[in-house]
Amino acid sequence: MADLQPHVVMLPFPVQGHVKPMLMLAEVLCHAGFRISFVNTDHIHDIILGNIDKSSFLSQFPGFCFLSIPDGLSPEHPRDISSIIELFTSINSTGKIMFRDLIISLLRQEDLDDKETWQAPCCIIADGIMSLAIDVGVELEIPVITFRTYSATCTWVYFHLQKLIEQREIPVLEGNEDIDGLVTCIPELEKVLRRRDLPSICKCEIDHPTLKFFLEQTSKMKKASGLILNTFEDLEAPIIRQLHSIYSKVYTIGPLQALLKSQLAGSPPIAAPATGNLRQEDRTCIAWLDRQPAKSVIYVSFGSVVVMSRDQILEFWHGLINSGKPFLWVIRPDLVFGDGPNGLPEEIMCPTNERGYVVSWAPQVEVLAHCAVGGFLTHSGWNSTLESITVGLPMICWPLIVDQKVNSRCVSDIWRVGLDMKDSCDRSTVEKMVRVLMENQDEEIAKSTTKFANLAQKSVMEGGSSFCNISKLIEDIRSIQSEKDDCKSK
């Protein structure tokens, strides 16, 4: 048994923006020879297995096992952003019990089909808002490493939520004349972060369940034995140094998309890879992009969970049309409040017209890297932001929830790789921003996008910071396994 590969249990939070990077990390670790038990909720588990060619996937990752636990919600529950507190609460009650039982079963090797090649798990890698894993790990004496799927900067801000409350920076009130005042109680961000840039939960009253949830999760996750981040040192070095004051081990291993591609170079392609997408991609947009001039298209996507009003959609539509630039726009069926896409004018939902192309979901990584795409109008979710930085594509940021406002401020004022359009949604502003980005781009933005794209690629190559950090993570997990094996032999 001592010669067997380490077995790691991985537990993402059940939304796409969290599942996707966790799955990429799981594939990297599995490629390194580890056994992976990837634990989704039943709901997410069924969607993922419905979107992949499982036999092809397992032929490339034979040490991979998809497992699931109930989330405690009914099959009919929407599991959308409007009911996120119900999901939080249910997972941390029902889900915690089921996850504990699953870990006990794995420790006893009851659920392992092949006990000759699989051994009991040596550690858990859990999402940064799945602190139930900390409770289970402490009880069952299994080390837990936390994976925060936000930027290092936003992670650092979350660790200061209590201080923000004490300094009376929370709640952030809309219309407050001091909303553009600087937040001075977070080291390294004193000169750049404004009140309007704080995470959306900072608008909550201090006794609001959402704010209480994130305070609890952030506090509990300090007990983890290490912190994994999907970023790279050249992008967020000052903040990463600060995070070492909380965790002795910080593994910055991003951009994970580029790291996984680099690690799998030379491996046979998978017929239907496990991308972590929970929606079916409409690949017809690639053929449309193939017919467009280089750097002419603005790609528009507001991610997998953001919702908008009909009026907001119309303002973006008119702004895009008036800009005169061809656009590829992702309009999910659940993007719009109320009636969904059925409540929108027919010309918006027409798949193609003389100015643009509309799809319900796009192969985003491929789109961002396409030669026809010259800019990205984004909600500033961290996955989207990092994917854009990786290919050197400038952004227009329209953030709404969670970490997005912090990210957009970094994009515009720290990294200088795009424009920040937060708290504004009218057709004239959209038109102006698109024209500035696509026609009269700031020279500093052009230089910065190229610089960080090169640094991102360099970080995942041999000798790069992320390459070294993933190697260190792999080495540390092997050490955990060795210590466990030594204890068994005594």
Q: How far apart are CA 150 and CA 471, in angstroms?
A: 21
Q: How far apart are CA 357 and CA 351, in angstroms?
A: 6
Q: How far apart are CA 464 and CA 33, in angstroms?
A: 21
Is 89 exposed, middle or buried (CB count within 10 Å of its CB: 0-12, 13-18, 19+)?
middle
Name the residue type at position 97: I
Pair of tokens at residue 250: 């910080």
Does residue 234 have an active-site annotation?
Answer: no
**CA atoms within 13 Å, Cβ hemisphere of 123:** 25
Pair of tokens at residue 442: 């700031």
Is 267 exposed, middle or buried (CB count within 10 Å of its CB: 0-12, 13-18, 19+)?
exposed
Q: Which residue has the tokens 């994994």?
A: 228
CA 362 distance to own-chain centroid? 16
Pair of tokens at residue 212: 């209480």
Pair of tokens at residue 154: 């936003």
Which candidate in 45, 53, 111, 127 is catalytic? Answer: 127
H/E run at residue 373: strand 373-378
Q: How far apart are CA 324 and CA 336, in angstroms?
A: 24
Of the candidates 227, 47, 32, the residue with the CA atom closest to the CA atom of residue 126: 227
Pairing of strands 226-229, 144-148: parallel
Q: How far apart are CA 26 and CA 43, in angstroms?
A: 19
Of the candidates 89, 41, 85, 32, the residue with the CA atom closest to the CA atom of residue 63: 32
- Give yes or no for a cis peptide into 255 (omega within 30° of 0): yes
Query: Which residues are bridge partners to 336 per DSSP?
Result: 308
Does residue 127 have an active-site annotation?
Answer: yes
Q: How far apart are CA 132 and CA 144, in angstroms?
A: 11
H/E run at residue 257: helix 256-263
Which candidate in 18, 160, 370, 379 is catalytic? Answer: 18
The residues annotated as belonging to the active site are 18, 127
